[in-house]
Structures are given as C-alpha cells and as structure tokens.
Amino acid sequence: MRIDDVRHAADQIAGRVVRTPVLRLPELDARLGATLHLKAELHQLTGAFKIRGALNKLLSLAPEARSRGVVAASSGNHGQAVALLAQMLTVPAVLVLPQDAPAVKLEAVARRGARIVTYDPVRDDRDAITARIAAEAGLAVLPSSDDPVVAAGHGTVALELLAETGRLDRLVVPVGGGGLAAGCATVAKALYPGIEVVGVEPADGDDTARSLRAGHRVHVPAPTTLADGLRHQSPGRFTFEVNRKLVDRIETVSDDEIAAAMGALWTHGRLMAEPTGAVALAGVLARRPDARGLRVGVVVSGGNVDSEVFRRIVAPHVGEQEAWAVPGALR
C-alpha cells in the first residue's frame, strides 16, 4: 500500500462521507503542555471512521459482485457502516456481529435492513462463520480492516488531518485490526518521514504489542476491555506487515485510563466518544510528560455509545454534576 492508494481512495469516496473536523481544545492543551489536533471521526456518518474503508472496498467490487451482495464481520461500527452503505447503494448485506455488541450498534444495523447473524466471541470463529455464509450465498466478503483497499480508505483520516495541520511531531491512533493504523501510518510517513506514529491498544487486548515484540502475529485470549471495537485476538496479516514497518511503537492503556480520556473529551469539548474512540487520547494522557512541547495529532475514532452507559463510565472522572449533563442520561 502506498500513499497514492490512499489518494485514490479519497477521490473515490469524496462527497459520500463527511470530511470530519479537526478540533482544538485549549484547556486540554494547557493540561498537557502540548498542542493537540483531534480528528473527530465521531462526527462521521454512522459515528465512526469505518465507513471510509467499507465504501472504498464496496466501490472497488465488480458491479456483478456488488449486486449479489456482501457479508461482513464486525464488532459493531463496521457493521453499521456496511448496513448504511448497503441501504444507500441497494446492496444485499449480511452482518456477523458478536452477541454482546452494544445495543446501540445492533439496533443501528437492524434499523437499516441488513440481516444479522450473531456469534459468541469467546467460543465461535467469526471469520469461519463469515466465510461459510459467503460461500453458501455467493456473497463478497467486506473486511473491516485486514485488506489493502479497506486500509487505504481508512488512511484518508490522516490525509485529511495532515492537509489541515501540516507537519506534526506525532500521530496517535487506536489499534484493533490494524487497518486504521496502517492507512494512517502510510500517509504520515510518506508526507513527513520524521513523524512518530504511535498506536494505542487496551492492556486487555494487546495482540499487536505482543506480536511486534515477538516479531510475528500472536493470538491472545478473548479480551474483555471496555473498548469493544478493539477486542481483537490477533492482528491482521496484511496490516501487521505494514504496521511493523511504519508504526514506531505501541502503547497500552487500562480501562480506567480509557474512561478518564472519555471524561476529558466530555469536560473540555462536550465530545461523547465511545471507549474505543477515546483510546488514542488515553495513550497521550497516560504519558502526558512525553507529549510536552509537541504538536500531536490524535484520532478520536468513534462515538457510538449509549448515553446512560457513557454517563456511568465517565462519572468517576468528571463528577456527578458533569455526568448528568450527558444528553439522554437518566436521573
């Protein structure tokens, strides 16, 4: 994958997705002694960056393959993106989702008319389920991450960010399957070879960190982290090879640090990020002296979280009065 692949993706998806804002939060800057540029993908269609890669892949399929339909496995955000795109482009879609996916994500997929197949994330192999459905129904598989066309679509996040900010000292991205990191790192290193690219994973779900230390892909037990979008048990084959070359380091964060980052985004910017969406900022806040004096890009990757769940998570970090200001919170 090259930056030209990402530029092609940007041209292909232009006008169909949101060019999300890059936000500045002065109080957070002062707290860190750094200059943060927050790429607010929680303002994207379906509330997360996933639609970028999904649309790039869908538009890359041959017309006859697209007309037969697609099947996709997802923790929720990719599923929402595929369901919306299938509805917009009149493409049949089957979504393979974990039975414990947040209700807000399951409901959004169902509302858009996609067929849902659930699986047990501890006992079942979702990729095997997806492959079986694809073979039986003649559907194209639409990967959420581990695919060069999908990753190029995700890389448009960094293309937009850096077009607005210019050179940054550091780019911080969440790491799950690795597609967002691979796409963003490809762009960042091509435009600014000296930039540091940092990936952040939940401590309970550190498959990429372990794999990079081992020098090969490793499998971890099913994670239970708050960050439901990052409960991967191993990095993707394609994405791991890209990230081992271009990502400078991986940081891990606890659930409490993720919750604190969600609280900071709410307090300083009224941004209601889901746990996965706040992971990159959690990595910055947990090691705040490390960012002092730097210009840092941070991808806030999504905001699909139930308001009452959000309130419960952030309350210990923002106080009850702030927590009750969450729209839709129950008193």
Active centre residues (catalytic): 50, 75, 201, 205, 207, 301
DSSP string, 98-164: ETTS-HHHHHHHHHTT-EEEEE-TTT--HHHHHHHHHHHHTPEE--SSSSHHHHHHHTHHHHHHHHH
Phi, psi of 283 (to 5 degrees): -65, -35
Burial 259-287 (b: 16+ CB within 10 A, else e): bbbbbbbbbbbebbbbbbbbbbbbbbbbe
* Cα–Cα distance for residue pair 42/303, rounded to 1 Å: 5
* Cα–Cα distance for residue pair 288/276, rounded to 1 Å: 19
Tell me, what amino acid is at 264? A
CB 140 within 8 A of CB 146: no
Relative to beta strand 22-23, strand 93-98 is: unpaired
Of 181, 226, 230, nearest to 205 (Cα)? 230
Helix (H) or strand (E) run with residue 200 in it: strand 196-202
Tell me, what amino acid is at 294? L
Q: Which residues pair with 302 in a beta bridge?
A: 48
